[in-house]
């Protein structure tokens, strides 16, 4: 069953996950409509246990409640892993707003768990370092890893839907997601007394990657720029994920699936916690125009690019600790 919530489609994955006849084609069609018309959609019936979501939110709140010195000891590093304090990021690459003030959000970033002797760690390959874990919170690491594993499995399961929505074979994206680039960003947004048009929790932007899956925060604040030019707050639908497509899928699809700008303004009067999970291609994957998205009258608009180069350029523009690496 598919419905809309204030213009944002709601997709029920349960019939497809049960293997019902025709469910995959129907769902792929609704996914295509969502990507063409909105760039955001809710998913229900996804199979991720609510207990995992609740545990991750609990640990998110616990982490951001630590003394600032404890969090600063886990400062974000060149692999974009660790703590990024409030006012140390700015949406400098936004195409819909010229940022004049840094973001109020504070965040902690985790990526794929890697052993100390993993070849990519020993070699010091970019964005493939080891996670940092707060020693004050013994339940933090297992809760976050369990949540990340479940979200990665959901992302992989949804790849055939994206492929079919674009007229491709179900397994088309498998090679580019040999080892998905995964990032969990747990964020804390302080309440704002008012909005002056310049200071944001997170300024207007589009995400860099393929797909972002957002567990539903208890406090609203996320706003989406709809195709009619209006900013509208996204409703909180318990038990669902709010999903949006990013710049990488836009580039891959030759701009057929545009990435939708969004922002965060927390006027709820209390702290807002958020857990976006970024599900993206293998860092070494080459992203070139999809065969079903080009033709004699529609040539590729973007040159092929390695995903690693794309994401390093994005973080270099927007994250203060990486600005010297911007290209």
What gap in Å lies between CA 240 and CA 281, rounded to an integer?
23
Whether 138 shows a pLDDT value over 50: the answer reads yes
d(CA 299, CA 265) in angstroms, rounded, equals 39
Q: Which alpha helices (H) appear in 10-102, and where do they start and end?
A: 14-17, 23-37, 50-64, 68-72
Question: Helices 140-165 and 23-37, interaxial angle, to 10°?
Answer: 90
Q: Which two tokens stand for residue 263?
A: 């922002």
CB 253 within 8 A of CB 211: no
Residue labelled with tokens 């060149």:
78
pLDDT in tens, 221-274: 999 999 999 999 999 999 999 999 999 999 999 999 999 999 999 999 999 999
CATH number at residue 238: 2.60.120.330
Mean pLDDT of the chain: 93
For 195-215, what is each residue's pLDDT tens digit? 998 899 999 999 999 999 999
Q: Does residue 94 register a pLDDT over 90?
A: no
- How many distinct structural domains can be found in the chain? 1
User: Which structure tokens are listed for 138?
Assistant: 């013994």
Which pTM was predicted? Answer: 0.94
Give every CB contact of residue 177 below 8 A, 6+ residues apart in sequence: 156, 159, 281, 282, 285
Distance (Å, whole) CA 211 – CA 193: 32
- pLDDT above 90 as % of the chain: 87
pLDDT bin (cut points 50, 70, 90) of residue 326 is: very low
pLDDT at residue number 99? 67
Task: Label residue 319 left, alpha or beta by phi (over 0 means left) and psi (-120 to 50 means alpha).
Answer: beta
Cβ atoms 210, 246 nearer than 8 A: yes
Whole-number Å distance between alpha carbons of 325 and 126: 12
Q: CA-CA distance, 148 to 154, in Å (whole number)?
A: 10
Is residue 38 over pLDDT 70? yes
The candidate with the shortest Cα–Cα distance to 62, out of 135, 9, 169, is 135
Strand spans (E) along the chain: 2-5, 8-12, 40-44, 82-84, 106-111, 181-189, 202-205, 211-215, 222-225, 231-233, 241-245, 262-264, 272-274, 276-280, 286-287, 305-306
Pairing state of beta strands 241-245 and 40-44? antiparallel
Pairing of strands 82-84, 262-264: unpaired
- β pairing state of 82-84 and 106-111: antiparallel
pLDDT of residue 128: 97
248 with 142: CB under 8 angstroms? no
Rounded-to-integer distance, Cα 211 and Cα 246, Å: 6
Over 60: is that where the pLDDT of 36 sits?
yes
Q: Which domain holds residue 75?
A: 2-325
């Amino acid at each position: 069953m598919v419905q809309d919530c204030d213009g944002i489609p709601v997709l029920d994955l349960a019939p497809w996950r049960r293997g019902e006849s025709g469910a995959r084609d129907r769902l792929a069609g609704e996914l295509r409509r969502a990507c063409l018309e909105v760039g955001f959609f809710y998913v229900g019936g996804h199979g991720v246990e609510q207990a995992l979501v609740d545990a991750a939110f609990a640990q998110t709140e616990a982490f951001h409640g630590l003394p600032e010195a404890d969090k600063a000891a886990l400062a974000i590093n060149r692999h974009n892993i660790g703590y990024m304090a409030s006012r140390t990021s700015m949406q400098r690459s936004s195409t819909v707003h010229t940022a004049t003030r840094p973001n109020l959000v504070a965040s902690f970033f985790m990526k794929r768990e890697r052993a100390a002797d993993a070849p990519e760690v020993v070699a010091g390959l970019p964005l493939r370092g080891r996670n940092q874990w707060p020693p004050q919170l013994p339940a933090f690491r297992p809760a976050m890893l369990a949540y990340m594993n479940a979200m990665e499995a959901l992302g992989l399961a949804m790849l055939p839907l994206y492929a079919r929505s674009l007229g491709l074979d179900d397994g088309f994206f498998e090679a580019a997601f040999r080892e998905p680039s995964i990032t969990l960003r747990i964020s804390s947004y302080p309440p704002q007394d008012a909005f002056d048009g310049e200071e944001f929790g997170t300024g207007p932007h589009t995400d860099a990657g393929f797909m972002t899956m957002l567990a539903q925060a208890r406090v609203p604040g996320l706003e989406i720029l709809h195709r009619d030019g209006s900013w509208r707050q996204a409703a909180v639908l318990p038990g669902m994920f709010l999903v949006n497509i990013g710049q990488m899928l836009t580039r891959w699809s030759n701009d057929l699936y545009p990435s939708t700008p969004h922002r965060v303004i927390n006027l709820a009067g209390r702290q807002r916690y958020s857990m976006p999970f970024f599900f993206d291609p293998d860092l070494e994957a080459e992203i070139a125009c999809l065969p079903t998205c080009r033709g004699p009258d529609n040539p590729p608009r973007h040159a092929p690019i390695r995903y690693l180069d794309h994401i390093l350029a994005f973080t270099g523009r927007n994250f203060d600790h990486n600005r010297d690496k911007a290209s």
